[in-house]
Amino acid sequence: MEFRHLGRSGLKISEITYGNWITHGGQVEADAANACVRAALDAGITTFDTADVYAGGRAEEVLGKALAGERRSGIELFSKVYWPTGPGRNDRGLSRKHVLESIDASLRRLGTDYLDLYQAHRYDYETPLEETMLAFADVVRSGKALYIGVSEWRAEEIRAGKALADELGIPLVSNQPQYSALHRVPEAEVIPVSRELGISQIVFSPVAQGVLTGKYLPGQPVPAGSRATDEKGGGANMIARWMKDDVLERVQELKPVADDLGLTMATLAVAWVLQEENVAAAIIGASRPEQVTDNVKASGVRLDDDVKKRIDEVLAPVALTDPALTNSPDPRP
């Protein structure tokens, strides 16, 4: 496992990060979740990402129990706040009330005294940014989080948030966008601004919800139990944009590329996002331990220019690149 600095901070995280958006508390049972976390730890992963909204809070609980007994200073634990966590009008967003209540609830579910990174899960257009950043500053100063991040913020929002964070003396070090060889939306604006400001990307869905693994074949039924069938957890809605024959046909053209490198298609997809220097980590999810073992092989892989060019040429006709797609309300990883 290789490690990268998170932004310009001194914090190093594993470049393969384990996330439990759909899986823990939803798609897989606790025993399987524990096995996946154990596989991640055995593979050298030290960084774990979750959120208060995943599976209605159960994902944090499952992850906390799975990590119980691990040396706390030897892992990096991330969570997020924004999406509704209850029926009340203040059980959502980035108001001071919700941020301060949510950090305590996340810590309780995770069974820890602090988070290494606490992230604004989306930008809140109903709350003044100053209020949100002051609440985050108080979270940091209270010792409940060491660093602050955001997720799926637009370039101008990242710039404004970083300016306020600097004024308040708190370390805003990361953004968590969707990023893959099929979803290249951050490249036009978010990554250049982040690079300028010393902010890293912690990217989710590097295998495009499983499409880049090649397991979905054009004109064929989707495999039973796959993410494309997960209506309850939200995976089916998110993957729908890629479940088109023209996309799936293009993805199958990458198999010879992966074979030539001795990689699976999933490993190739994760390695592709790690070629971007502004990416500190790629978040992987898993319902089986062997998926973790496979994806971790992407750590340290270097793709030469010819390989990257071939991948880009194959997927260019079907890849998403429009920066206006940043912060889309659908989905919510």
The residues annotated as belonging to the active site are 54
Evaluated on CA atoms 290, 119, 95, 143, the torsion sign reads: positive
Evaluated on CA atoms 180, 333, 135, 71, the torsion sign reads: negative
Q: What is the 3-state secondary structure (H, E, C) of the chain?
A: CCEEECCCCCCEEECEEEECCCCECCCECHHHHHHHHHHHHHCCCCEEECCCCHHHHHHHHHHHHHHCCCCHHHCEEEEEECCCCCCCCCCCCCCHHHHHHHHHHHHHHHCCCCEEEEEECCCCCCCCHHHHHHHHHHHHHCCCEEEEEECCCCHHHHHHHHHHHHHHCCCEEEECCECCCCECHHHCCHHHHHHHHCCEEEEECCCHHHHHHCCCCCCCCCCCCCHHHCCCCCHHHHHHHHCCHHHHHHHHCCHHHHHHHCCCHHHHHHHHHHCCCCEEEEEECCCCHHHHHHHHCCCCCCCCHHHHHHHHHHHCCCCECCHHHCCCCCCCC
Rounded to 10°, the helix 96-110/58-67 angle is 40
Residue of 102, 107, 43, 99 lying closest to 72 (CA atoms): 107
Cα separation, 226 vs 62, whole angstroms: 21
Rounded to 10°, the helix 30-42/289-296 angle is 30
Residue 75 amino acid letter: I
